């Protein structure tokens, strides 16, 4: 199992537990302890630890990508290089980090715009969570959409699928989750007098 999948699952479960089911935090802690202690899972734990410590080839390659991305952002900080490719041959454009990829292609302006949009989505949705919880039909959709979105944003630190144009289906799925979360919030927050 990929480290990325394990991390995304942990983020989504923790998000759900913190927002709705606080008792689930204890279950998650016990589950994490079991995973850390069981002999059967030790290879997964060691694989995860090697990645966190930068001791495997995939992580070391990512460090090189990060260095190139910071160089590219340093040369084109405001608007980035665009979506056509790197303008200089000595710099590689691809990076396994969604945020660095956004900053490389769209500059710090594009990254700031993306982060503001994501912050507005979460602030608006979380401010209306009591109204959402009052409607059980929407609560599950809302919680699932926001948990999936939180997992995708966390995974964006070490991968690029939801922003890379080569993976358009993943990008579409990401924005569908944004839409589902916003639609569920809007439907729950709507006053009873509205049609």
Q: Helix (H) and strand (E) counts for the chain? A: 8, 0
pTM above 0.85, yes or no: no
Domain ranges of the chain: 3-186
The maximal CA–CA distance of the chain, rounded, in angstroms, is 61
Helices 24-37 and 3-19: crossing angle in degrees, nearest 10, is 160
Is 90:113 a contact under the CB 8 Å cutoff? no
Is 3:157 a contact under the CB 8 Å cutoff? no
User: How many residues in total does the chain contain?
Assistant: 195
pLDDT for 23 equals 87
DSSP assignment of 50-86, as one string? Answer: HHHHT-SHHHHHHHHHHHHHHHHHHHSTTT-S-SS--
Is 114:102 a contact under the CB 8 Å cutoff? yes
Rounded Cα distance, 13 and 15, in Å: 5
pLDDT along the chain (195 residues), means of 10: 76 87 88 86 82 78 83 86 73 81 91 96 91 86 92 86 82 92 88 47
| Residue in the block written with tokens 């715009």 | 113
Degrees to nearest 5, angle at CA 55 with 51 and 56: 70
- Element of type H or E holding 35: helix 24-37
């Amino acid at each position: 199992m990929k480290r990325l999948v394990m991390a995304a699952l942990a983020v989504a479960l923790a998000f759900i537990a913190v927002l709705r089911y606080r008792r689930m935090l204890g279950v998650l802690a016990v589950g994490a302890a079991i995973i850390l202690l069981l002999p059967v899972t030790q290879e997964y734990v060691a694989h995860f630890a090697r990645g966190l410590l930068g001791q495997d080839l995939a992580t070391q390659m990512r460090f090189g990508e990060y260095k190139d991305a910071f160089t590219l952002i340093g040369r084109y900080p405001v608007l980035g290089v665009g979506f056509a490719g790197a303008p200089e041959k000595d710099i590689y454009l691809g990076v396994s980090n969604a945020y660095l990829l956004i900053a490389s292609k769209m500059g710090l302006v594009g990254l700031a715009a993306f982060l503001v949009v994501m912050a507005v989505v979460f602030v608006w949705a979380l401010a209306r969570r009591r109204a959402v919880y009052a409607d059980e039909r929407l609560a599950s959709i809302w919680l699932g959409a926001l948990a999936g979105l939180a997992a995708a944003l966390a995974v964006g630190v070490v991968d690029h699928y939801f922003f890379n144009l080569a993976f358009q289906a993943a990008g579409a799925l990401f924005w569908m989750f944004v839409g589902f979360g916003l639609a569920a919030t809007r439907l729950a927050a709507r006053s009873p007098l509205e049609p």
